[in-house]
Structure 1
Amino acid sequence: MKRKFLINLALAILTTVVLIALISITFFNIEFEKLVRQEKNLLQKKIENKILYFSKYLKLIEQGMEKNAENIAQELSRSLEGGASAVERLEKKIQATLKNHEPLSVNVYDKKGNMLIKAGRQEESEYFFNPAEREGWFRNWKASDTLAHLNLVMHEKTGKKRKHTLVRPLNSPYILEIVQSLRVYVDKKYCSNYYQFLFLEYFRAFEENSLYLQKLDLFSPQAPHWSFLKEGRQLSADVVKKMAANEKNELNQESGEVIFYTLALENTGYPYLDRMIVELSFKKNAFRVFNRRLVLMAVGAGLLIFILLLLIYSKVFDRYFISRVLGLRDKINQVGNGYYGGALEVEGQD
């Protein structure tokens, strides 16, 4: 009787463990998807407000960059008053300007958009315009315009943030293009840690204050989809394609651990901040460890399953399987001990 109970107990425990594992995995995935949805909804408004404040910081910095570009233009414009000799004189002055004001590059064009001088770190400040765009832009520039600050943009090949300013002195047939790096300007104007704060620490508070959020990132919706927060990081074209195929412009990946969605804002002052792709990455392990409700549900379900299985095994399994196995084992033991008891007869001989 004791043996039967121990066998039933072992079978019940084994089956319970297997069933709890399967049920827990199922419930865990369902609950995790719900939690991701809740966290995303809670974070969305906070992220929107954060970006609006962020755009104000950025606007102040950009105004400083524009003032810096105007100072550079003022120094160089007088040298451009004249003909071809003015261009030759300007080259030396540009080199001094690059040291004093630290723009990425200063370029000189004629009115058709042909580049006459290029100075500075061209590999980083590669021109904002392609030749056709530049020529058309110059052609449509009104005669009264002498200064144009273009929007802060991200480099097409590196994702680095830069600002272009175009200047045309009144008495000159030439045009200056002043290219500044946002990072270089901020590091020099404020301190080396301020850029880190503005583009990383400012948003990292979301990650630090959330038990489940692992990573937040913002991407440009325009190809090649560079990250606005983590310089040099690029969004996969496959992700963008899948999002475009979804009517809600939303995508879940890796069993809900990563979610992408499109965020639309107004009045940020920046076209690339008005509409961005948000990436939220969640810590599944943290959810597994700290979700007490799931643990209690698993324990409760386990106890209930264990009791039911023990009763089933004791009544049904014991009757149709265990009793027969134990009976057969007893007969084999009797034969092994030399007692046949009529079970085996070999013409009266052992």
Structure 2
Amino acid sequence: MSHENEQIVLASRPEGMPTHQNFTYETIDTKPPQQGEVVVKSLYISVDPYMRGRMSDQKSYVEPFQLNQVVSGGVVGEVVESQNDSFNVGDKVFGMLGWRRFNVVPAEQIRKVDGEAAPLSAYLSVLGLTGLTAYFGLLNIGKPKEGETVVVSGAAGAVGMVVGQIAKIQGAHVVGIAGTDKKVQYLVEELGFDSAINYKTVDNMQSALEGLCPNGVDVYFDNVGGEISDAVLNLLNPFARIPLCGAISSYNRTDGDLGPRVQTKLIKSRAGIQGFIVGDYADRFSEGAKHLAKWLSEGKLVNEETIVEGFDNVPDAFLGLFSGENLGKQLVKVADPEY
């Protein structure tokens, strides 16, 4: 069966903030699946801040995207052709696949998801790598105890809002940092954060945080780095824990990321800081997914997504991450299921 296909490739490496000129659309042929392969029609495509790092030709924990090759990331799709006995036409699946309308892949690259148990988009957000990042980073590195104060930067983003909700489940006092008054209101009124702050409107971040964290900070889940984190580090309690998930404030800088040195702050507080990626916990994904699904079904977790429609809007959705346009997980809906 022939499928009219299209893909998005990395045309050039960004210098500073990515632009539309860094991407090119290509019309391609979809080759028939060989034995053991399936054709997956993209339904939802995930865009994530970490992809910015892969667009630079620098050594990191994952190989960079290659120039003039397809960009890839999390995709939930539908099997529309199969040459593998483990997958039937109509099966809904997740995989790390190309930014394409259709991907032809070995069956080992995908896994089935249950569209009856949860919305398909949830497998790219709270039930996917996003939720697992929050789960393992907070519980295995942050280890919040009942009554402790947990501060979350990037709190209205995909990972941050799940972190805050899990911290509340653990009985912690949770303070979120976000970039608009609307997001601050959402964190408190809809997700149950104890308080939140708009970092763009305060004159002195440290003073503002001191008012919201009168007992200091026991766990700081860092998604942003930069001046926000500089302020939080001054409020750490003895033996505080810092899961370091991201540093989005520096991803598009071209002048280096200069700031206060952290060594003396960590020595004085005897705090521990640990960078991590979700793949560190790959052998425990089923454990995390089980807990996340249970909390979601019990109403203890709210899943918030920002979804734009249309394959042509994938780059727009990605670029919007760096201006804070999304509330929760940013996704692109490419198509409706056929089966």
TM interval, shorter chain, is: under 0.3
Higher strand proportion = 2
Larger radius of gyration: 1
With normalisation by structure 1, the TM-score equals: 0.21
Higher helix proportion = 1
With normalisation by structure 2, the TM-score equals: 0.22
